[in-house]
Amino acid sequence: MFSQEQINKFKNTPTPFYYYDIDLLKRTLIEIKKAAPKEYSIHYALKANSNPKLLQIIKEAGFGADCVSGNEVKRAIEIGFQSNHIVFAGVGKSDVEINYALNNNIFCFNVESTAELIVIDELAKTQNKIAKVALRINPNVDAHTHKYITTGLEENKFGINPYEFDTVIDLIKKLSHIQLIGLHFHIGSQIGTLTPFKNLCLRVNEINNWFIEKGYLLPHINVGGGLGINYHEPDKESIVDFESFFNVFKQFLELKPSQSVHFELGRAFIGQCGSLISRVLYIKNGINTNFAILDAGMTDLIRPALYQAYHKIENISNTASQTIKYDVVGPICESSDCFGKAVSLSETKRGDLIAIRSAGAYGEVMSSSYNLRDITKSVFSVD
């Protein structure tokens, strides 16, 4: 929902652009702090949105950083996240990236394979450092989400499978520049119910106990991210029910008193505070419905094209209650460049402003310059 003042501001701003509601972001951060038990460490997953202005606010609120590339580690450090609050995951870390993270003494590498353990050990030895690592485990828990963003099944490329545990432990005993400090899990993203998280907890308990029996009582258990947001009703549920989410872990995770819990949430932090704002370029007749052709396309927001993701679309220039159905599309030379089919909008004409809601996570960061398009700009409610 946008105020008249905001809409007037949009009228004078070249489109398309991402609009971020800073007040909503701040309120979301407060809710996370309120809902999470004090002893939980929450890392914000930069991959969801690494816009420096937003990162600054998240850092100031006292969260850690979860990174998946050397450049994300660099961005987190530049913004001022303390290096001992930075975790670094990813199935294919390059030597340059590992060296950079070692150099900056990050808190922990989430390691995804035996091959990677060996390389980190070698590089740490060269730097005369001990690399702190957590093993990313593939727990084989179904997140029941889109298959492109499911990560915790045996068929996925992520993590170390339970049948490799003995080999990994034997290897770790031989590596002199690795310190095993934790276990890491992440089963997928945009998880819409709490059941997969309960199943994850039960699996973590089993795996944690297996390691304890082998003599490894590891201080850090990282359960990843994945909490979904309500794309259908962004105004009704602008802030996720964090209390119920953390309650699942309080209730079902059975850790030893010396073990601490870490989370890596991205979408739930930032998803609802961003909208992609664009203008209608043309209305064109179609066979079934008319097309509303926007000046924003899949280069600005790829989620509908890539995951058939739903985003609520609103005509904010004309809010009359009577609606007509439009296929809302972008200007890119691909038929997948479609934000929504048969979308009910109030009568729409050239020049109208269209808001594509819940685009704060995996929107701006996934934009591209395909077709030599301009990179999407961002505007903040506090500018």
State the DSSP string of 193-250. Answer: SSHHHHHHHHHHHHHHHHHHHTT---SEEE----B---SS-TTTTSS--HHHHHHHHH
* DSSP β-ladder status, 353-356 and 260-265: unpaired
Q: Tell which positions 87-126 bind ligand LLP, by CB under 6 A.
A: 89
| Separation between Cα atoms, residue 380 and residue 357, nearest integer Å | 15
Query: For residues 169 and 117, is the Cβ–Cβ distance under 8 A?
Result: no
**Which residue, 226 or 330, has its beta carbon nearer to ligand LLP?**
226
For the chain, give the number of residues: 383
| Separation between Cα atoms, residue 112 and residue 330, nearest integer Å | 38
Residue 104 amino acid letter = N
Give long-range contacts, CB 8 A cutoff, 24+ apart: 199-205: 199/141, 199/142, 200/139, 200/141, 200/152, 201/248, 201/249, 201/251, 201/252, 201/253, 202/252, 203/139, 203/140, 203/141, 204/139, 204/253, 205/252, 205/253, 205/254
**Which residue, 15 or 151, has its beta carbon nearer to ligand LLP?**
151
**Which residue, 10 or 245, has its beta carbon nearer to ligand LLP?**
245
x/- map, 189-218, ligand LLP, by CB under 6 A:
xx----------------------------
Q: How many CA atoms lie within 13 A of 277 on its CB side?
A: 29
Q: Tell which positions 135-164 bind ligand LLP, by CB under 6 A.
A: 149, 151
Selected from 303, 312, 357, 373, the binder of ligand LLP by CB under 6 A is: 303
Q: Tell which positions 251-280 bind ligand LLP, by CB under 6 A.
A: 264-268
Segment interacting with ligand LLP (CB under 6 A) among 77-85, 183-191, 249-257, 319-327: 183-191
x/- map, 3-42, ligand LLP, by CB under 6 A:
----------------------------------------
| Separation between Cα atoms, residue 354 and residue 257, nearest integer Å | 51
| Separation between Cα atoms, residue 66 and residue 186, nearest integer Å | 12
We find the least distance from the C-beta atom of residue 287 to ligand LLP, in angstroms, to be: 31
**Which residue, 264 or 300, has its beta carbon nearer to ligand LLP?**
264
Distances (CA, A) of 290 to 3, 285, 297, 344: 28, 5, 17, 11
Give yes or no for residue 183 binding ligand LLP (CB under 6 A): no
Selected from 48, 123, 172, 183, the binder of ligand LLP by CB under 6 A is: 48
**Which residue, 268 or 343, has its beta carbon nearer to ligand LLP?**
268
We find the least distance from the C-beta atom of residue 192 to ligand LLP, in angstroms, to be: 11
**Which residue, 2 or 109, has its beta carbon nearer to ligand LLP?**
109
**Which residue, 48 or 313, has its beta carbon nearer to ligand LLP?**
48
x/- map, 220-239, ligand LLP, by CB under 6 A:
----xxxx------------
| Separation between Cα atoms, residue 316 and residue 276, nearest integer Å | 12
Interface ranges with ligand LLP (CB under 6 A): 45, 47-48, 66, 89, 149, 151, 186, 189-190, 224-227, 264-268, 303, 307, 361-362
